[in-house]
Amino acid sequence: MTLGDLLVFSILCLLILDLPSTSGRLLLDHSLARGKTRAAALVPAILLGSLLCFAAGFGIHVWLAESLRTMLDALSWCALAYLAVYVLRGLQMRQRFRLADNDNLGEKTVWPALSRGFVGQLRPGLAVAIAALLFQTADSSADIAERALHAGLAFALAAIAAPVIQIVFARQRAMRLQRTSRGKPGLDKSRTRFIARRAVSAGYRRIAA
């Protein structure tokens, strides 16, 4: 892979990793509720999950490139179609994501949050998307070790940059999500009832005490 190919691959990986996801939502909620410094503590777990997902995607790429050498052009077109569907699906997921209510985070301590961030990146769809990106940018005839080293370094840079960007711009993205929720007020009714029930239950407990 040339320097230009590595740069393109790294930028495309960054865009793919920055799509709405479970780990991205986790970083957003923790950045708003606990602060950016505490949210940054989740980055190593998310990075490890991303690197394992890259290893799976690279394995898929090598297996298909070696098994179907005569169909590389067809594989490249199929990979491009899959990337288009993956990006569109990721953009649609943005409409379904909502912010955590106040400090009502699912993970009260750091270890469940780390676990969720790690597991959230182990997505088969992401691994296939990485393989599809490799079909678009990597030279399938090059040495496998050389491809793995170059692509791995480029992906690692993107995997570090993506969560950092999500933390830095957490407040701006939260405002955008809030504007989207205001446009669909029916989405928040069930959450409002849940919080009201929780508040009433807490009031009864205080009275009983």
Q: Is the pLDDT of residue 189 over 50?
A: no
Query: What is the per-residue pLDDT for 203?
Result: 54
pLDDT in tens, 125-168: 999 999 999 998 888 777 888 889 999 999 999 999 999 998 98
The structure's pTM equals: 0.76
Confidence band, pLDDT 50/70/90 cuts, at residue 205: low
Q: What is the DSSP letter of 108?
A: -
Query: What is the per-residue pLDDT for 118?
Result: 92
Which residues form the domain of 127? 3-208
Residue 44 in contact with residue 131, Cβ under 8 Å? no
Query: What is the per-residue pLDDT for 206?
Result: 57
Provide the number of structural domains found in the chain.
1
The rounded mean pLDDT for the chain is 80
pLDDT in tens, 77-126: 999 999 999 999 888 776 555 554 445 555 556 788 888 889 989 999 99
pLDDT in tens, 17-43: 988 888 888 888 888 888 888 888 899
Residue 139 in contact with residue 4, Cβ under 8 Å? no
The Cα–Cα gap between 93 and 41 comes to 25
77-83 long-range Cβ contacts below 8 angstroms, 24+ apart = 79/131, 79/132, 79/133, 79/135, 79/136, 80/132, 80/136, 82/128, 82/129, 82/132, 83/16, 83/129, 83/132, 83/133, 83/136
